[in-house]
Amino acid sequence: MTAGSTARIRVILPPHLRTLAHAGRELTLEIAGQVTVRSVLDALEASYPMLTGTIRDHVTQQRRPFLRFFACEEDLSHDSVDTPLPEAVVSGKEPLLILGAIAGG
Amino acid sequence: MSNVRVLVGTRKGAFILFSDGKREKWDVTGPHFAGWEIYHVKGSPKSPNRIYASQTSGWFGQIIQRSDDGGKTWIQPGTPPGEPTTGPGGMPKGESNKFVYDTSAETGAPLTTHQFYDGTQHPWEFKRVWHLEPSLTEADTVYAGVEDAAIFRSKDGGKSWQELSGLRGHGTGPKWQPGAGGMCLHTLILDSTNPQRIYIAISAAGAFRTDDGGKTWKPINKGLHSQYIPDPNAEVGHCVHHIAMNGKRPHVLFMQKHWDVMRSDDAGDNWKEISGNLPTDFGFVIDVHAHEPETIYVVPIKSDGEHYVHEGKLRVYRSKTGGNEWEALTKGLPQSNCYVNVLRDAMAVDSLDKCGIYFGTTGGQVYCSNDAGDNWAPIVRDLPAVLSVEVQTLS
């Protein structure tokens, strides 16, 4: 992606956050500049303020421990949030998945 | 004729139960916030259609919800869709779910440690809101009791929250420790005759009182005796499960401790045991009749190792003598093969004549007595496990 261009990123939220955001299964976010987990979450929270604090901590910005980030069948949860996301995500071919840990109850 | 609105928090959502003053036929709505743990729902005494709810999840953290129409619709205060989330300083604007301990030099207290289950020291970490206590006089002011134990206040209808850090900074924090449910501030009582006075209780630290609006706090645990801590008569460390007060007589407090039912006649400065003839004095809930301040209610639980009612019988015990002499109330309640618990915030009373008593169980039943406990009937039988019950008497 060239500098100054805008990417349309597909994001899939876990069901409870869809309810909270009054949104469907998949969202599309426009990201100017480098596409990273951080820039996607910034854009997500800007469009859906009610999600602030639900995916990453308000202050530390750390990922909540029961949530994971996946794309292109890879676990990105432990990568730096400033690592560029795969080209398939940037191009919109693949979504960024935000998943809740599977647990009973 | 008056109506009543019962606000029920459960493991999987909130429910609202509505009836006229007869309290015989009920309309049930919900689940609100389906699938989320709703620790507490409580209405504003000043503006009864203003209701606050604590919505929480191990996955997604804390959410505060507010209704201004009696629970028909809900908003997350402070986070209108489409607006920027951050202000000029880069801090999030949507702060209704932002509970940050105040460590500032001006008003805060250092983020110290408390005792963990294994006896080591553990840093304070915010987990969830256990209890919301709306102000008696201002609809936009509401207090929150949280885990790890601290008290927060919002003056803008739940949009933003500030810690009253004098409690956490009391200095005894290293001796506080979590109970089985976490180290939670679960009880918060406002004094209608003295706006500067607030009572709180923490598991397991004990009870505290402020007489200056939350700046400074005093442990009020004299007379409590707890065998499970190294010094059974310690100033702090007691696992107080709940405290109740009749607002017309605010210096008299009743307490269900881990074990022992207690009362204080001097605003918590001294406590004496009133367990009397109870079959077991372990339990969680305690409440006071709205019009008879010496009439109190508990639900005895078998033991700290067996959190269900004694002998498989769901019995509310009532004392009309302020304690010590208790009678079992059983009419309409299951008297065999019943093994539910009644959690600490899951009992409430209305202010009708006759006083209505309500409680919810971990089996999902919400019971009502419309005659001060003499007879009981289930309002609903099959909700998720009930975490909290509050009632509003509406004119």
pLDDT digits (tens, 9 = 90+) for A30-59: 999 999 999 999 999 999 988 999 999 988
Number of C-beta neighbours around residue A92 at 10 A: 12
Chain A contact set for B77 (CB, 8 A): none
- Copy the structure tokens of residue B378: 């289930």
Determine contact: B90 vs chain A, CB below 8 A.
Answer: no
Whether residue A3 has pLDDT greater than 70:
no
The answer as to whether A1 is a domain residue is: no
DSSP code, position A7: E
Contact B142, B136 (CB under 8 A): no
Ordered mean pLDDT values, 10 residues apiece, chain B (395 residues): 95 98 97 96 98 93 94 84 53 70 92 90 94 97 98 95 95 91 96 96 96 97 92 94 96 97 98 98 98 98 95 98 98 98 98 97 98 98 98 96
Q: Which of A49, A53, A59 sits opposite B81 (nearest CB)?
A: A49
CB of B35 within 8 Å of any CB in chain A?
yes
**Which of B55, B76, B85 is the best residue to mutate to test the A interface, defined by the most A CB atoms within 10 Å of its own CB?**
B85
Count the residues in chain A: 105
The confidence band for A85, taking pLDDT boundaries of 50, 70 and 90, is very high
Instruction: pLDDT band for A1, please (50, 70, 90 cuts).
Output: low
Which one-letter amino acid corresponds to residue B202?
Answer: I
Whether residues B60 and A55 touch (CB distance < 8 A) is answered with yes
Each residue's pLDDT tens digit, B347-395: 999 999 999 999 999 999 999 999 999 999 999 999 999 999 999 999 8
Our measurement of the distance from residue B283's CA atom to the centroid of its chain's CA atoms, rounded to an integer in Å, reads 14
Does A15 map to a domain? yes
Distance CA B101, CA B83 (A): 26
In our burial notation (b when 16+ CB lie closer than 10 A, e otherwise), range B255-289 reads bbbbbbbbbbeebbeebebbbeebebbbbbbbbbb
Return the structure tokens found at B300: 């005895």
CA dihedral B92→B158→B164→B239, nearest 10 degrees, is -110
In angstroms, the Cα distances linking B382 to A20, A64, B316, B362, B364 are 25, 32, 20, 10, 5
Residues of B in contact with A46 (CB under 8 A): 84-86
Q: Is B228 on the interface with A (CB under 8 A)?
A: no
Note whether B319 and B293 are within 8 A (CB).
no
HSE of B233, CA atoms in CB hemisphere, 13 A: 5
Residue A105 in domain: no
Q: Could you list the residue range(s) of the whole structural domain that residue A33 is in?
A: 6-100
Give yes or no for a contact between B341 and B360, defined as CB atoms under 8 angstroms apart: no
Overall domain count for chain A:
1
- Distance, in angstroms, between B73 CA and closest chain A CA? 13
pLDDT at B94: 56
Yes or no: say if B274 and B260 are a contact pair by the CB < 8 Å rule.
no
Q: Alpha helices of chain A — where are they, by DSSP H?
A: 15-21, 37-47, 87-90
Question: Which two tokens mark A13?
Answer: 């939220």
In a domain, A53, yes or no: yes
B230, B170 in Cβ contact below 8 A?
Answer: no
Q: Is the dihedral of CA B145, B181, B222, B224 positive or negative?
A: positive
Please state, in angstroms and rounded to a whole number, the distance separating the CA atoms of residues B7 and A90. Answer: 46
Q: Which residues of A touch B83 (CB under 8 A)?
A: 49
Label residues A29-60 b or e (16+ Cβ within 10 Å = b). bebeeebbbebbbbbbbbbbbbbbbbbbebee
Mean confidence (pLDDT) of chain A: 91
pLDDT for B92 equals: 45
Nearest residue of B to residue A54, measured between CA atoms:
B60
Give the Cα separation of B94 and B91 in Å (integer). 9
Tokens of B43: 């209405």
CATH number of the domain that residue A74 is part of: 3.10.20.30
The whole-number pLDDT of residue B91 equals 45
Please tell me the predicted confidence (pLDDT) of residue B228: 83
Q: Is residue A87 part of a domain?
A: yes
- Asked whether residue A93 is domain-assigned, the answer is yes
Q: What is the pLDDT of residue B90?
A: 47
Which residues of A fall within a CB distance of 8 Å from B82? Answer: 47, 49
